[in-house]
Structure 1
């Protein structure tokens, strides 16, 4: 397959996945980090939540919020649902996002819900309010952070007793360079396409991606909070 055809295949893979988001949303960032972890190329569409697009309303008519992941024209809403979809759809790429052990997987879901339902709301209120309301939000956020800290200390104690597993990087064989690894990934992707695994509904391939950063974006915390209230 020549270079031109490879470029066309890569562009087709990117068009298969689209993400509707908003730069200040932590839930959108979770999805972008997950896609980067899996090396998935995608089109990103920035939404103005003060003037929601017809596209967003059509793809997510129930909640009318971001993030929305569009996969071969089929929308998936709600960040936790999207994360699990990414983990399942690209299970052959990178490390798993959620543990494979059923109990650990359930606990990961529990603490994800804790963050979304208990921790994030008072933190956003603290950023976007003033006076007594801000003070109350601060106290509520600290209370939930203490709950999270207690759980993290418990997990640290478990690891120190040797009851948990710590993931360590795999040692690279002597003499293997970064260019060798990239070339091997490129050859595997090309073989998959030549073997007929690149059809319209095929799962887009895995490539090296950059983890999106929140830093450097313009806008006040008040403006971000106003939009976040609609996320």
Structure 2
């Protein structure tokens, strides 16, 4: 290895250590408890109960903005195995300093709650997972990737740690987590075409919630979630219709 290559490697190492240290200091200031979701998972083999802290999309967005991280999708693959559809996405994220990281995200139709999901949502989830994993690698994040609770089966998941305010909820926990997961995917799909502010303004209008009041999708009850899902589905159909009109 030449002297120039050694200096370049040392410079890259120092930059990565600096970013790790910045994240260690900054994460307690830029992230709040609202950016996390705690779940309790039961190990099928040992029966051991473990707590996991999941970072929500809002948290990943804060990290991305704080460090000025940009992202790009390098590759998206679609595979079919019998009735199962699998989307694999490779993403790269880069910091202003030139540091970058790559990761792969996968989403399959055989995951709990995804058997009837439209393929564009499966693809979108795979992209989100790839980007978030790459961000975690880049900054040295020490928590689990974005809300993947839908990958767990009901016997693996103690839902009481996710929804402490919904003990009287009549719907099965899996029904609610499926809806929440679906809604997050639909919002992710729409926000590339209309602003997030406009999306939530429509949601608030449909639920009769004042525009100046903050809402959290995870705290809505099952009936409200169904209404939100219906609104977003209509919005997606309208956007597709407009795209078709513009095409012709």
TM-score, length basis structure 1: 0.22
Compare relative contact order (CA 8 Å, sep 6+) and give the higher one, 1 or 2.
1
- TM-score w.r.t. the length of structure 2 is 0.21
Structure holding more strand per residue: 2
